[in-house]
Amino acid sequence: MTRLALIAHDDEKPEMIDLAESYESLLATFDLVGTGTTGKRVAEETDLDVELKESGPIGGDAQIAAEVAEDRLDGIIFLRDPLTAQPHEPDISALLRICDVHDTPLATTRTSAEYVLDGLAADADRME
């Protein structure tokens, strides 16, 4: 099963919810994992099941990076706020590096997230 991680900076959480609602039927076929607050909000505001990691500021992004290193993730959507991210929010640089090393797609905007979702859906269809 396709496994996807969801992370969002505070100001981008509403956009993550909107994305999850828009792609809910596809995401329902995925194994979802999320940082604490993002994953909890997605689960509460949709009918999706999300495995919760720690919140980003206390290591959730590192837990997700470890899953990339263990080849347990097919992709990550990290909606980040490049202009007003707060010091307590997860930093993307380490996560980006591990994704590059392991050739794991990482989307940081709504548009790139939609491309990743469409690509993962196409991969899942080819595997059937």
User: Active site includes 61?
Assistant: yes
Structure-token pair, residue 43 = 């689960």
* Widest CA span in the chain: 43
Residue 55 known to bind ligand: yes
Residue 39 known to bind ligand: no
Residue 35 known to bind ligand: yes
Residue 37 known to bind ligand: yes
Angle at 53 between CA 111 and CA 113, to 5 degrees: 5
String of DSSP letters for 29-64: TSEEEE-HHHHHHHHHHSS--EEE---GGGTHHHHH
Residue 9 known to bind ligand: yes
Catalytic residue among 18, 47, 61, 118: 61
Binding site for substrate, by residue number, is: 9, 13, 35-38, 55-56, 88
Q: Which residues are catalytic?
A: 61
Binding site, by residue number, is: 9, 13, 35-38, 55-56, 88
